[in-house]
Structure 1
């Protein structure tokens, strides 16, 4: 699954990396070192008619268009890639509203001696990640205003991550991004991403209120060694 991640790359750099059409109108957003559900985060989507890619802010936690209110969005931060194409909550978005969620890192946890030890997960080559996602528009019946929300697709975890969790976000290679956004049915792209590395980080990550660069700092060697030893315990 994916419950927290990092959006550190500035919008202009994201636009360049993901071939966003036009450099104007980019969202003004600070770095997120501990991005959490219900926050407004950067998302890339493709216009269905022009094919142009746009970078927008959307609320994490998908709210289906038929939902009576937004209260259920916080529970729909992830969608299983195996069932999203057929599940009523995600079926329409899978067909017409797929998106890319840029991320520099994400976090996963391991229970260690009665506490939750967070691990920072990154691509081994240091490049930003492209999470596969779905987005929806929900219209507030009281105000008539539209709210755009998103969810991150998940798949079975790569073997390197199984000691932390059996699921992981679907991470697309650069060569697969266009196909995911444009293909009628890109289910063959819903697979584990190899070449990830992990390291233990401060338990300050556990509190959403903590959102600063220190969260990315390595633990002291002795603490890091002890945390890593628990992965094979």
Structure 2
């Protein structure tokens, strides 16, 4: 289950990785425990000469049953695009947390890129509801022991393709589902302090012994 994310990349790292510039320094404030309902970094298609619009939007929404909805399976993406008039976006993050069990009794795990300063996750922006969802796909063998689903991670090339909306969504998802090797990702057991959404700080991503 994916219910937490982290963003602590430096402004220059994010701008260089995605190829844009912004003077909105406040958007780069680090947060090591982004929970559902909080504001999360988002890249949208830019206007005019601007390649991207970098902003922060609410992550997730409440369902009719009161549950938090923070992700959408890749099989349902096209339906949301057509019926809800959502648009494709990218969530530039430093990583995300996973728990093996729904009640979070076990230790959480922090997943990040090994050799990149930022992780680009495919997302959908629901314009009417003003919130974003992560797009999920089947987990690779590294993530499988912890979760059957994982975010759809994009490389730099597919980040641009995902946002510009020229290529068909189903084609992009099929090609982007296997962009990274197992050795591209790091999975570390971290403190249960991340279970409390009020906790924040770099200590949350420090590895702990098994």
Q: TM-score range by the shorter chain?
A: 0.7 to 0.9
Structure 2 residue 178 is matched with structure 1 residue 188? no
Structure 1 residues without counterparts, runs of 5 or longer = 64-69, 139-146, 225-233
**Closer/same/farther in 2, CA of residues 72 and 148 from structure 1, 3 Å limit:** farther
User: RMSD over aligned Cα, in angstroms?
Assistant: 2.8
Superposed displacement of residue 79, structure 1: 0.8
Partner of 1:213: 202
| Aligned-partner SS, 2:75 | coil
Equivalent residues in 2 for 1:1-233, closer than 5 Å: 1-20=1-20, 22-47=21-46, 52-62=51-61, 75-87=68-80, 92-93=85-86, 97-111=87-101, 115-138=105-128, 148-182=130-164, 183-190=166-173, 191-192=177-178, 193-194=180-181, 195-219=184-208, 223-224=209-210
76-85 or 187-196: bigger deviation: 187-196
Uncovered stretches (5+) of structure 2, i.e. residues with no partner: none
Is the CA contact (8 Å cut-off) linking 1:118 and 1:202 kept in structure 2? yes
Please say which structure displays the higher CA radius of gyration.
Answer: 1
Q: Taking structure 2 as the reference length, what is the TM-score of the superposition?
A: 0.83
Contact 2:27 2:55 in 1 (8 A): no
Normalised TM-score (structure 1) = 0.75
Count of residues in Structure 1 that have an aligned counterpart in Structure 2: 201
